[in-house]
């Protein structure tokens, strides 16, 4: 699948995955379109390539007046940046996001500033989000259900990646929309890449989020990047191991080098050299973001230990 294309999710009737073409990498940005009785779009991408998403929604058979829900797994702009643009195009759709993310959709100014600071030159792949009127959006809490008519989505808080992050479970299809809670499964290497952005990544909570997925034990896991895959119990162990090893590698390199900038530069260079599933520029930027998130987490742990 390539940028702007979509395909059915095997094993889950009426569910489609759309490739946003994010960061000029095929399949990296996954948006899910559920053609239920009350249709929903799950995540929206950055908004930069929204016209192709509109075409997919139309091709699936969902009219502009028919879309009932625009659901964001969390407020990060690679997942919710297009929500306001979709809200403008689909006037009857209610925008829903975990409660702590509502303020970022209503007034995205602070989130935009933080994202620009974090991603630096990678901002070229984003678009300025449209604020969503307060009467068009609402927050979800643990256990809340999104009514799709012939099925439902159950919300589970998963704040390890960010405080405003959640996963959604469709009990009927036994599919979990994991967003970033289980890292990034990369088919090209058949492995998990941790995603640990600043400023509020939390390893302990991230591991707890993976345990939530373990307890749900779904048939399908719909990742926010590179699309869905069948879930197997051993996958949860792979995710936890990848996160623990990633954090420990950064902890050890910080102890060795004694300088955070040098730590970031070390992992940037390693990613640019070794990571082959996207371009060197994006590999370097992604490593920088994830290393800085872990360094912030290590500082948080140290500060709380002292208290």
pLDDT of 279? 77
pTM: 0.95
258-294 burial: b if 16+ Cβ within 10 Å, else e: eebeebbbbbbeebbeebebbeeebbbbbbbbbbbbb
pLDDT of 171? 98
Rounded distance, CA 264 to CA 282, Å?
Answer: 14
Beta pairing partners, 152 = 147
pLDDT of 306? 66
pLDDT of 117? 87
Rounded distance, CA 197 to CA 181, Å?
Answer: 12
pLDDT of 122? 87
Given a cut of 70, the residues of the chain with pLDDT beneath it are 306-307
CA distances from 63 to 24, 91, 287, 288 (A): 28, 11, 40, 41
What's the distance, CA 205 to chain centroid?
A: 16
pLDDT of 121? 86
Burial of residue 23, with CB atoms counted within 10 A of its CB: 0-12 exposed, 13-18 middle, 19 or more buried: buried
For 228, other C-beta atoms within 10 Å of its C-beta total 22
pLDDT tens-digit map of 278-290: 778 888 989 999 9
The CATH number of the domain covering residues in 6-239? 3.60.15.10
pLDDT of 307? 57
pLDDT of 221? 98
Q: Which two tokens stand for residue 211?
A: 């345990």
Rounded distance, CA 201 to CA 298, Å?
Answer: 10
Under 8 Å between Cβ of 20 and 46: yes
Domain ranges of the chain: 6-239
């Amino acid at each position: 699948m390539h940028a702007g294309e979509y395909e059915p999710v095997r094993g889950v009737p009426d569910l489609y995955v759309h490739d946003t073409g994010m960061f000029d990498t095929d399949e990296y940005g996954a948006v899910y379109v559920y053609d239920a009785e009350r249709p929903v779009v799950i995540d929206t991408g950055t908004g930069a390539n929204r016209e192709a998403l509109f075409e997919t929604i139309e091709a699936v058979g969902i009219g502009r007046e028919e879309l009932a829900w625009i659901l964001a797994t969390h407020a990060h702009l690679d997942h919710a940046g297009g929500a306001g643009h979709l809200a403008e195009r689909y006037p009857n759709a209610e925008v829903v996001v975990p409660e702590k993310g509502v303020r970022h959709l209503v007034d995205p100014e602070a989130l935009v500033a933080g994202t620009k600071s974090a991603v630096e030159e990678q901002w070229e792949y984003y678009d300025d989000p449209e604020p969503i009127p307060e009467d068009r959006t609402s927050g979800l809490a643990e256990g809340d259900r999104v009514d799709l008519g012939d099925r439902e989505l159950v919300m589970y808080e998963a704040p390890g990646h960010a405080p405003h992050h959640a996963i959604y479970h469709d009990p009927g299809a036994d599919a979990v929309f994991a967003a970033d809670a289980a890292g990034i499964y990369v088919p090209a290497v058949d492995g998990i890449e941790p995603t640990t952005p600043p400023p509020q990544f939390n390893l302990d909570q991230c591991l707890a989020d993976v345990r939530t997925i373990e307890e749900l034990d779904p048939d399908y896991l719909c990742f926010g990047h590179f699309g869905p895959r069948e879930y197997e119990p051993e996958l949860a162990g792979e995710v936890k191991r990848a996160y623990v090893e990633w954090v420990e590698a950064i902890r050890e390199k910080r102890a060795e080098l004694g300088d955070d900038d040098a730590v970031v530069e070390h992992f940037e260079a390693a990613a640019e050299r070794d990571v082959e599933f996207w371009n060197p520029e994006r590999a370097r930027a992604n490593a920088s973001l994830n290393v800085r998130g872990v360094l912030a987490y290590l500082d948080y742990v140290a500060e709380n230990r002292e208290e």
